[in-house]
Amino acid sequence: MASVSLRSVHKKFGPITVLQSIDLDIEDGEFVVLVGPSGCGKSTLLRSIAGLETINGGEIHIGERQVNHVAPKDRDIAMVFQSYALYPHMDVRRNMGFSLNLRKSPTRMVVERVSAASTKLGLNSLLDRLPKQLSGGQRQRVAMGRAIVRNPQVFLFDEPLSNLDAKLRATMRTEIKALHQSLKTTAIYVTHDQVEAMTMANRIVVMSDGVIQQVGAPLELYDRPANIFVAGFIGSPTMNFFDAVIDGKQAGLADGSLLALPASAAVTEGQKVVIGIRPEHLHFTDTGIPGTVVVVEPLGMSTQVTLDAARERVTLLALERPVLAPGDRKHLTARPQDIHVFDRASGLRVN
């Protein structure tokens, strides 16, 4: 187990900068999830930590050691790949023991470690099978077993669940989390699925275009997104955004209606802002922003209503079951403390 720290890490592919000045401290035993849209550099960052890519600037420390020029095998890390990358000609047992055998570990130790890992992962009955004789979820488990037997300082996962179906993904998510809680090894996990990020992480790192947008605990990111990008990326259905101009203690929306701002908003008269409101924080009232119902989608536990209001498409999640039909005219509001205010020019949070 070890901490990982990145100091202004740069990475370029030819002329294209893929990572710019990444600073990140991951504590010993932490489970950190990297999320971001496709192509934002998550895999590149993970592979740089693994040593599969050489960085063009900055420093990477694993534990006390600076590893910029250390070969992947000597970094004492294990990686679980998206396609699992099992060796197709070796059975499960040999797949798991391969790295230890290469290190000339004593046979007894290899056998012990492999059987401990396979017990932990429920692979005992599959040890003599070849990868092609396993299901996707079982292969996934073998890939994790292969990482576990090495007893590394850090686990790296690159979208390990993206090849599984939705149900299995949920199961494996729980298993990986449980595994982490019993092993307490530092883990860095890449995904573009924000549900995985929210449920598994101790801390989430949101990236976009090779830049870290925000680092924080899942609910911290949800409740206090640092900028418009994070606000829109975290949460499903996504946050509603309204362009607005500050008018006293209120925000004037595009259709002229006014919305009370939270007391903490540091804004000036006439400032152009973006107001963000989560779907579950919007309510129907008698006065407020007028809107027209477009679609009503009952989800069981809640009802999702799509409306046109203040020249935007707006989503509202209602826990009660409103009786509505498309075309109905309603008024919307939100409590001031539930409102997120962002500066329109910089995109940064101002409350």
Partner 1 sequence: MATQQTRLLGKLAVAPSVIVLFLWMIVPLALTIYFSLLRYNLLDPGNESFVGFFNYEYFLSDPAFFAAIGNSLKLVFAVLAISIVGGTLLALLLDQAIVGRNIVRLMVIAPFFIMPTVSALVWKNMFMHPVSGLFAWLMKSVGLEPIDWFAQYPLTAVIIMVAWQWLPFATLILLTAIQSLDEEQKEAAEMDGTPPISYFYYIVLPHLARPITVVILIETIFLLNVFAEIYVTGSGGPAGNLPYLVYFQGLLNFDVGGASAGGIVAVVLANIVAFFLIRMIGRNLEG
**Residue 40 contact partner, candidates partner 1, ligand ATP, Mg ion, none, CB within 5 to 8 A by sort of partner:** ligand ATP
DSSP states of 224-235 as a string?
Answer: S-SBHHHHHHSS
Token pair 């996962």 is found at 157
| Smallest separation, CB 72 to Mg ion (Å) | 17
Binding residues for Mg ion, rule CB under 5 A, total: 1
- Listed ranges 37-45, 167-175, 215-223, 279-287: which one lies at the site for ligand ATP (CB under 6 A): 37-45
> Contact letters (x/-) for Mg ion, 31-70, by CB under 5 A?
------------x---------------------------
Distance of CA 21 to the CA centre of its chain: 20
**Residue 329 contact partner, candidates Mg ion, partner 1, ligand ATP, none, CB within 5 to 8 A by sort of partner:** none
Query: What is the C-alpha R_g of the chain?
Result: 24
Near ligand ATP by CB under 6 A: residue from 4, 22, 26, 40: 40
DSSP β-bridge partners for residue 214: 206
**Residue 41 contact partner, candidates ligand ATP, Mg ion, partner 1, none, CB within 5 to 8 A by sort of partner:** ligand ATP
Q: Omega into 237 within 30° of 0, i.e. cis?
A: yes
Q: What angle do CA 254, 255, 257 make, to 5 degrees?
A: 100
The whole-angstrom separation of Cα 103 and Cα 130 is 23
- 110 counts as binding ligand ATP under rule CB under 6 A: no
Binding residues for ligand ATP, rule CB under 6 A, total: 11
- Listed ranges 44-52, 178-186, 243-251, 326-334: which one lies at the site for partner 1 (CB under 8 A): 44-52
State residue 5 phi and psi, 5-degree precision: -135, 140
The DSSP letter of residue 230 is H
The whole-angstrom separation of Cα 19 and Cα 45 is 7
Token pair 């006065």 is found at 287
Near partner 1 by CB under 8 A: residue from 17, 25, 29, 85: 85
Q: Which is nearer to partner 1, 141 or 278 (CB)?
A: 141
E strand segments, 174-237: 186-190, 203-208, 211-216
The whole-angstrom separation of Cα 323 and Cα 300 is 14
The DSSP letter of residue 262 is P
| Residue 202: Cβ within 10 Å count | 15
Q: Which is nearer to ligand ATP, 11 or 146 (CB)?
A: 11
The residue at minimum Cβ distance from ligand ATP is 43
Near partner 1 by CB under 8 A: residue from 68, 99, 306, 351: 99
**Residue 77 contact partner, candidates Mg ion, ligand ATP, partner 1, none, CB within 5 to 8 A by sort of partner:** partner 1
Which residues make up the interface to ligand ATP (CB under 6 A)? 13, 18, 36, 38-44, 192
Which residues make up the interface to Mg ion (CB under 5 A)? 43
Which residues make up the interface to partner 1 (CB under 8 A)? 50-52, 71-74, 77-79, 81-90, 98-99, 102-103, 132, 146
